[in-house]
Structure 1
Amino acid sequence: MLTTDVQTREQLVRRAADLVPLLRKNAAWAEENRRIHEESIEAMADAGVFKMRVPTRYGGYEADARTLVEVGAALGRGDGSTAWIASVYWIPTWMVGLFPDAVQDEVFATADVRVCGTLSPTGTATPADGGVVLNGKWGFQSGALHSHWQEIVAIQMGPGEPMPIVALVPISDMTIIDDWHTSGLKGTGSVSTVADGVFVPSERVLPLPAILQGQGASAANANSPIYRAPLLPVASASSVGTVLGMAKAAREVFFERLPDRKITYTGYAHQNEAALTHLQVADATNKIDEAEFHATRLATLLDDKCASGAPWTLEERVRARGDLGAVCGLARQAVDILATASGGSSIYLDVPTQRIARDVQAATMHALMHPNTNAELYGRVLCGLEPDTLYI
Structure 2
Amino acid sequence: MLTTEVPAREELVRRATDLVPLLSSKAAWSEENRRLHDDVIEALADAGIFRLRAPRRFGGFEADTRTLVDVSAALARADGAAAWTASVYWIPTWMACLFPEGVQEEVFSTENVRICGTLSPTARATPVDGGITVSGKWGFISGALHSHWQVVVAVQIGPDGQPAPVMALVPMSDLQTIDDWHTSGLRGTGSISTVAQDVFVPAERVLPLGAVLQGQHASPANADSPVYRAPLLPVASASSVGTALGLARAAKEEFLERLPGRKITYTAYEHQAEAPLTHHQVAEASLKIDQAGFHAHRLADQVDTKGAENSPWTLEERVRARADMGAVCRLAKEAVDILADASGGSSIYNNVAIQRIARDVQAVNLHALMHPDTNNELYGRVLCGLEPNTLYI
1:171 aligns with 172
Partner of 2:367: 366
Aligned ranges for residues 152-171 of structure 1 at < 5 Å? 152-160=152-160, 161-171=162-172
Q: Which residue of 1 aligns with 2:208?
A: 207
Aligned partner of 2:338 in structure 1 is: 337
Residue type at the aligned position of 1:40: V
| Distance of 2:317 and 2:326 partners within structure 1 | 14
Matches within 5 A, 1:27-42: 27-42=27-42
Q: For residues 62 and 21 of structure 1, what CA distance do their matches in structure 2 show?
A: 27
- Against the structure 1 CA distance between its residues 311 and 158, is the aligned structure 2 distance closer, same or farther, given a 3 Å change threshold? closer
Query: In 2, are the aligned partners of 1:99 and 1:217 still within 8 Å (CA)?
Result: yes
Contact 2:69 2:300 in 1 (8 A): yes
CA–CA distance in structure 2, aligned partners of residues 227 and 242 of structure 1: 22
The two structures, once aligned, show a CA RMSD in angstroms of: 1.0
Match of 1:261 in 2: 262
Cα offset for 1:7?
5.6
How big is the shift at 1:158? 4.2
| 1:244 partnered with 2:245 | yes
Q: Is the 8 A contact 1:140 1:192 kept in 2?
A: yes
Structure 1 residues 1-392: aligned runs within 5 Å: 8-160=8-160, 161-392=162-393
The answer (yes or no) to whether the contact 1:136–1:194 under 8 Å persists in 2 is yes
1:159-218 superposed Cα distances (whole Å, 9 cap, x missing partner): 332210000000010000000001111110100000011000000000001111121100
SS of the residue 2:8 aligns to: helix
Deviations 1:336-359 (A, max 9, x none): 000000011000000001000000
C-alpha separation in 1, matches of 2:113 and 2:159: 35
Question: Residue by residue, what CA displacement relative to the aligned partner does 1:8-62 show, whole Å, maximum 9, x if unpaired?
Answer: 1111000001111111111110000000001010000011100000000001110
Cα distance in 2 for partners of 1:140, 1:38 equals 20
Paired amino acid for 2:152 = I
Secondary structure of the residue aligned to 2:259 is: helix
Secondary structure, in 3 states, of the residue corresponding to 2:10? helix
Deviation at 1:259, TM superposition (A): 0.5
What are the ranges of 5 or more consecutive residues in structure 2 without an aligned counterpart? Answer: none
- Answer with 324-333 or 152-161: which moved more: 152-161
Structure 1: tracts of 5 or more residues without a match: none
Letter in 1 for 2:134: L
Q: Letter of the 2:227 partner, please give it.
A: I
Indicate if the aligned counterparts of 1:167 and 1:204 stay in contact, CA closer than 8 A.
yes
Structure 2 CA distance for aligned equivalents of residues 82 and 121 of structure 1: 26
What secondary structure does 2:350 align onto? coil
Return the alpha-carbon distance in structure 2 between the equivalents of residues 108 and 352 of structure 1.
36
Secondary structure at the aligned position of 1:384 is classed as coil
Q: What is the identity, as a one-letter code, of the residue corresponding to 1:88?
A: V
**Aligned partners of 1:155 and 1:165 also within 8 Å:** yes
| Separation in 2, partners of 1:296, 1:13 | 15
- Shift of residue 114, structure 1, vs aligned partner: 0.4
Change (3 A) 1:155 1:7: closer
How far does residue 248 in structure 1 lie from its aligned partner after superposition? Answer: 0.4
Report how far residue 6 of structure 1 moved: 9.5
CA distance in 1, matches of 2:301, 2:248: 21
User: Structure 1 stretches (4+) deviating beyond 4 angstroms?
Assistant: none
How far residue 78 of structure 1 moved from its aligned partner, in angstroms, is 1.0
Is the Cα contact below 8 Å between 1:98 and 1:214 reproduced in 2? no
Give the counterpart letter for 1:155 in structure 2. Answer: V
Say if 1:127 and 1:158, in contact at 8 Å, map to a contact too: no
Number of residue-to-residue matches in the alignment: 388
3-state secondary structure, aligned to 1:153 = strand
| C-alpha contact 1:229 1:305 (8 A) present in aligned 2 | yes
Q: Do the aligned partners of 2:136 and 2:197 also contact (CA within 8 Å) in 1? A: yes
CA distance in 1 between counterparts of 2:243 and 2:260 reads: 28
Output the CA distance in 2 between the equivalents of 1:119 and 1:214.
15
Secondary structure of 1:56's counterpart equals coil
Task: Give the letter for the 2:26 counterpart.
Answer: N
Give how far 1:316 is off. 0.5
Structure 1 length normalisation: TM-score?
Answer: 0.98
Q: 1:228: Cα distance to partner? A: 1.2
CA contact (8 A) 2:73 2:245 kept: yes
What letter is aligned with 1:288?
A: I
What is the rounded CA distance, in whole Å, between the counterparts of 2:157 and 2:376 in structure 1? 34
- The percentage of aligned residue pairs carrying the same residue is 71
Q: Distance in 2 between matches of 1:382 and 1:6?
A: 39
State the alpha-carbon separation in 2 of the partners of residues 7 and 254 from structure 1.
33
Give the Cα–Cα distance (whole angstroms) in 2 for the partners of residues 331 and 6 of structure 1: 31
Contact 1:126 1:158 in 2 (8 A): no
SS at match of 1:12: helix
